[in-house]
Amino acid sequence: MGEDELIEKVKGVLSPERLAHTLGVVQTARKLSARYGSDPEKAVTAALLHDIAREHDRNTLLQMVRNFGIIIDEVSAAQTELLHQLVGAELAGRDFGITDPAILNAIRVHTTGSVQMSLLDKIIYLADFIEPGRDFPGVESIRQKAWENLDEGLFAATVNTLKHLLEKGRLIHASTVALYNELQLSKSCQE
């Protein structure tokens, strides 16, 4: 499927607001992949598909988790918004014919992040965070860092997420914590 064909198909599953966000992620992912020397085609495909499961309600997502045989942990089961990364990767394969594991993994970890993220995983995670439609406090500084140094951008985004989750009293997924620790460890090694 070419990019235009993918866009047409994605339009069918996203609300206008989510589509605008998705196209922002595509634009940012394209720029980040040029900046950091990643395959732009893979970045565009992963960006286009990253939120294809985002519009489904909790029951539908849980049903899909069962049907796809996805094994989920307690925290993902309790927090609906953590399910769409897992279901999204399966739908990208089933409905959009994506077989490239690099693209599927970037979708699968785009919300929580994970340890040992690939360049593509990091680009999608960050593009999702800083696309032009995002306007939360602190986004400008994360944008700047993401452009200067990918891992510093990633660290800033992860810290922002953790603070936000703590403030709201939400559950924190183990992958979010693991990413934070990994980045913090590599920072302290450099000091």
Instruction: Specify whether the CB–CB gap between 40 and 65 falls below 8 A.
Output: no
- From residue 21 to residue 60, the character string flagging contacts with Fe ion as x (rule: CB under 5 A) and all else as - is ------------------------------x---------
Considering only CA atoms, which of 115, 90, 116 is closest in space to residue 103?
Answer: 90
Instruction: Specify whether the CB–CB gap between 103 and 120 falls below 8 A.
Output: yes
Asked whether position 19 contacts ligand DGI by CB under 6 A, the answer is no
* List 24, 38, 126, 128, residue binding Fe ion (CB under 5 A): 128
Rank residues 73 and 95 by Cβ distance to ligand DGI and give the closer one: 73
Between CA 23 and CA 135 the distance in angstroms is: 16
Rank residues 8 and 81 by Cβ distance to ligand DGI and give the closer one: 81
Rank residues 96 and 129 by Cβ distance to ligand DGI and give the closer one: 129
Task: Choose among ligand DGI, Fe ion, none what residue 9 binds, the Cβ cut-off being 5 to 8 Å by kind.
Answer: none
Between CA 87 and CA 94 the distance in angstroms is: 10
Instruction: Specify whether the CB–CB gap between 132 and 138 falls below 8 A.
Output: no
Residues that bind Fe ion (CB under 5 A): 51, 128
